Structure 1
């Protein structure tokens, strides 16, 4: 499918893209690019066989690349576009894997004046609480959703190429508007991570005095799992999508206040109805997963 796949960023996601592409025979060569201070990570990726070679010189990494995947934290995307601008090749397909899309599109517009027609924004709905290239797996995207957010000017051929690429590594591809993507992901991914960070932070301070974690059961482990996610990555995501996240925090606070009121006033029927609705809503979600 590709002669040279160039990954800008070889961590969990970038490394998993490389492993999956290699497993499916989608490219002849995979190279990684990073800053000089990232050389140790790139060297490790090469030792693990995730990439064939690596470069700290962007021009060398991009040479002969017919597909470039930006797999960096969303906060670094603007700087990456600035670095790419002198080398941008109209014959190459470019895409990204960032968790927010409005900020990525705006960064491209700021650098290029308009989003290049051969850039196809994308977001794999997959990840893990572990980070780094050593956590990369070839099946990370298998049977997971992948959202592509094409723009009005996106080249249909580039869109088709990226869609076929992700489908070939096992993803279920959906197309969605940029703003709609950020609204949906704020609710289903960004807010849950913030809630996990907040709860574990709250209980962590209490644990220092009362050994709370010592007696935590499986439910706490399940809920708190995503609080192990990379803080730097999630700082970038939350800053990039705060206009969508802040209203959700306010709505969540209102829901908690309602439950607090029911408890204060012993409104057991309302509490039961709240719990029942939530259970049924989650079952609908599980049914959709099975479908």
Structure 2
């Protein structure tokens, strides 16, 4: 079985390492816009061949995995569509699903039935092939979001692959996925970026950052993530994220009023709700 891997960063590189260790594929053909990552993966034997384009990578592939930022997926789908084998399965690892599925429906034509949208919940604030790890997916979730037209056999094969590399499998509708991850992933990243940017723009930013303790570091760890990747995610999931952000702003405005008038009861109630949920 031949895998065409488009994108050899943290997720793609880790998947290739894990699949190699388990013998899931006879051959892995890789492509990445960053030639250094591509050549390093080839030199380490993580991939067997380096393609010069996405179109070349997918020729004769049984499975095509797109492990790139969501903002680039539509163009990749457009480029690979003419070169796909008639039975090839295509899948992705994007953090949003509605926009990716829409792109696949429009770009893949008849091959859309063999497109299996998915999302491994295994990222970190680090990115790039240098951080890839064969054990990254051990005990993590893989969210499968097939639609009505998705071939059931293709779904089973993709879910089996992620199970083989250590994931627990969960199925969601694309809408549920995007709503859930707008709340528990996309909004937290947005808030972490916003807080650090807010302080960084102040005259005494260096002094404040120097005084920051573990709580600040814990809350803002994810602000070290890729700005480009997260800008793509926020735009791709802007409807669900916008709803979450508006709701969050309403809560913050209520807390602002409580602070302004010294209403300890309102503050404590909000904090208690959070504490009980977190525990």
**Taking structure 2 as the reference length, what is the TM-score of the superposition?**
0.95
8 Å contact from structure 1 (residues 207, 213) kept in 2: no
- Please tell me whether residue 151 in structure 1 is matched to residue 147 in structure 2: yes
- Please tell me whether residue 231 in structure 1 is matched to residue 230 in structure 2: no
Gaps of 5+ in 2: none
Rounded Cα–Cα distance in structure 1 between residues aligned with 2:46 and 2:203:
40
2:30 to 22, 25, 32: 32
8 Å contact from structure 2 (residues 54, 76) kept in 1: no
Rounded Cα–Cα distance in structure 2 between residues aligned with 1:247 and 1:268:
28
Write out per-residue CA displacement over residues 68-106 of structure 1, whole angstroms, 9 at most, x where no aligned residue: 100111111110111011112232221100011111111
Equivalent runs, 1:1-291 vs 2, <5 Å? 3-35=1-33, 38-113=34-109, 116-206=112-202, 208=204, 211-283=207-279
Bigger shift: 195-204 or 41-50?
Answer: 41-50
Bigger shift: 149-158 or 46-55?
Answer: 46-55
Rounded Cα–Cα distance in structure 2 between residues aligned with 1:58 and 1:182:
27
**Taking structure 1 as the reference length, what is the TM-score of the superposition?**
0.91
8 Å contact from structure 1 (residues 39, 56) kept in 2: no
Q: Specify whether residues 268 and 118 from structure 1 end up closer, same or farther in structure 2 by C-alpha distance, changes over 3 A only.
A: same
Q: Specify whether residues 145 and 207 from structure 1 end up closer, same or farther in structure 2 by C-alpha distance, changes over 3 A only.
A: farther
Bigger shift: 220-229 or 3-12?
Answer: 3-12
8 Å contact from structure 2 (residues 60, 85) kept in 1: no
Residues matched between the structures, number: 279
Tell me which stretches of 4 or more aligned residues in structure 1 moved more than 6 Å: none
Q: Secondary structure at the match of 1:79?
A: helix
Aligned-residue Cα RMSD (Å) equals 1.5
